């Protein structure tokens, strides 16, 4: 199965996380779920899941970037060759895991970004925010992807040292994406449908987007 | 007594009271109690007798005692802010490292 590890960072996702993990387990050798200090029953929902699902837990909330770091570190310990990340809220269909990995293999890529298509149900402000972030990633870092903020992505575990991210919060994902552009590793995109539920991307609002744009400008100046 | 002096004394006395409270709650050691209480006493003395730094102002080429106090205050303020920032960042990184280490140690493995 190409030694695929799926990493799912989860925060307050008691309703969806177990289902997403079980679905992902059908397409991967290991599914690593990192409960990022959730206050609801997320940990209870995943702690009893059996291999190939492996639950991990941050005792306090650190942020999505940190949860991804822990998940990827675990995947490296397991000896994974390919790491696929997806969100715990169910907005990324796990049945697309084989497709994104196949896309990476067939095109000789090291990193593949999921690209959400048909996001008509996504609120306008969120679509506008995504557009601004993508444009900034292109203009400042020459990163050619239409969905730099999409949590569904696949990459070779061997890439990890070349795509470090420091940020602990949501911007960690973007930092990782920008590192892909900078490092020169071959990357591509893979289209996935958008399953947008009300309340998705919780805790992310316009101020996060503006802060991220500022950070990107700063990273550009420092790079 | 000028109004600004009165405000300075009230701030210093409140800070000394807080320092004592923190000591009683065992947040501060005896050394910290004396250090911070001493610092606020110096602040209070300067607020009460700003002219006491006059000999220094002449030596440093400053026009008024208040200029020296302001410069010293800025130096202390920036130093404390920088120190707090560094400590905050250090604790932040250490906390992340600790939480992630615990997660990886206690997590299930194949």
Domain boundaries, chain A: 4-222
Q: Which domain holds residue B9?
A: 3-106
Contacts of B108 in chain A (CB under 8 A): 51, 54-55
B30 CA to chain A: closest CA distance, Å?
32
Tokens 């009893």 belong to which residue?
A48
Closest to A37 in 3D by CA, of A13, A61, A67, A10: A61
- At residue A59, the pLDDT reads 94
Q: Which helix (H) or strand (E) holds A41?
A: none
User: B96 CB near a chain A CB, below 8 Å?
Assistant: yes
What is the C-alpha separation between A45 and A29, in angstroms, rounded? 20
What is the C-alpha separation between A206 and B77, in angstroms, rounded? 33
Q: Are A67 and A10 in contact (CB under 8 A)?
A: yes
* pLDDT in single tens digits along all 110 residues of chain B: 678 888 888 999 999 999 999 999 999 999 999 999 999 999 888 888 877 878 888 788 887 777 887 888 889 899 999 999 999 999 999 999 999 999 999 887 77
> Does the distance separating the beta carbons of B99 and A60 come in below 8 Å?
yes
- At residue B19, the pLDDT reads 94
How many Cβ atoms are within 10 Å of B7's Cβ, its own excluded?
11
Q: Is the pTM of this model over 0.90?
A: no
What is the C-alpha separation between A12 and A35, in angstroms, rounded? 8
Contacts of B110 in chain A (CB under 8 A): 30, 51-52, 54, 78
Contacts of A66 in chain B (CB under 8 A): 96, 99-100
* pLDDT in single tens digits along all 223 residues of chain A: 579 999 999 999 888 899 999 999 999 999 999 999 999 889 999 998 888 999 999 999 999 999 999 999 999 999 999 999 999 888 888 989 999 999 999 998 999 998 887 656 667 777 777 788 888 888 877 788 888 888 899 999 999 998 888 888 888 888 888 888 888 899 998 988 876 665 555 556 677 778 888 888 888 887 7
Show which residues on chain A lie within 8 Å of chain B, measured between beta carbons.
30, 32, 34, 37, 51-52, 54-60, 62, 66, 69-70, 73-74, 77-78, 168
Domain count, chain B: 1
- At residue B78, the pLDDT reads 94
- At residue A22, the pLDDT reads 92
What is the C-alpha separation between A79 and A123, in angstroms, rounded? 40
User: Which of A30, A57, A61, A169 has the highest number of chain B CBs within 10 A, making it the mutation to test binding with B?
Assistant: A57
Q: Which helix (H) or strand (E) holds B110?
A: none
- At residue B59, the pLDDT reads 82
**Phi, psi dihedral angles at A54 (to 5 degrees):** -125, 105
Report the top-level CATH class of A4-222.
Answer: alpha beta
A7 - beta bridge partners? A32, A85
């Amino acid at each position: 199965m190409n030694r695929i590890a799926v990493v799912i960072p989860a925060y307050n996702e008691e309703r969806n996380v177990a289902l997403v993990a079980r679905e992902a387990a059908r397409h991967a050798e290991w599914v690593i779920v990192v409960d990022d200090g959730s206050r609801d029953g997320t940990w209870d929902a995943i702690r009893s899941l059996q291999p190939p699902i492996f639950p991990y837990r941050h005792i306090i909330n650190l942020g999505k970037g940190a949860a991804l770091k822990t998940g990827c570190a675990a995947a490296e310990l397991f000896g994974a060759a390919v790491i696929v990340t997806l969100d715990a809220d169910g907005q990324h269909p796990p049945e697309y895991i084989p497709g994104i990995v196949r896309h990476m293999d067939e095109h000789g890529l090291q990193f593949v970004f999921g690209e959400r298509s048909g996001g008509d149900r996504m609120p306008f402000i969120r679509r506008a925010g995504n557009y601004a972030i993508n444009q900034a990633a292109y203009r400042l870092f020459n990163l050619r992807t239409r969905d730099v903020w999409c949590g569904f992505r696949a990459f070779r575990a061997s890439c990890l040292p070349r795509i470090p991210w420091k940020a602990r919060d949501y911007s960690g994902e973007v930092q990782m994406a920008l590192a892909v552009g900078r490092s020169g590793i071959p990357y591509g995109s893979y289209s996935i449908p958008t399953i947008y539920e009300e309340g998705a991307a919780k805790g992310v609002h316009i101020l996060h987007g503006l802060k991220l744009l500022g950070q990107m400008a700063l990273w550009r100046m420092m790079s | 007594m000028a109004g600004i002096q009165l405000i300075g004394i009230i701030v210093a006395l409140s800070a000394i009271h807080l320092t004592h409270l923190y000591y009683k709650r065992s947040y501060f050691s005896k050394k910290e109690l004396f250090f911070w209480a001493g610092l606020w006493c110096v602040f209070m003395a300067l607020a009460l007798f700003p002219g006491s730094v006059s000999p220094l102002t002449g030596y440093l080429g400053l026009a008024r005692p208040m200029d020296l106090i302001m410069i010293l205050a800025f130096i202390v303020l920036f130093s404390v802010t920088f120190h707090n920032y560094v400590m905050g960042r250090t604790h932040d990184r250490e906390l992340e490292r600790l939480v992630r280490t615990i997660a990886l140690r206690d997590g299930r493995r194949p």
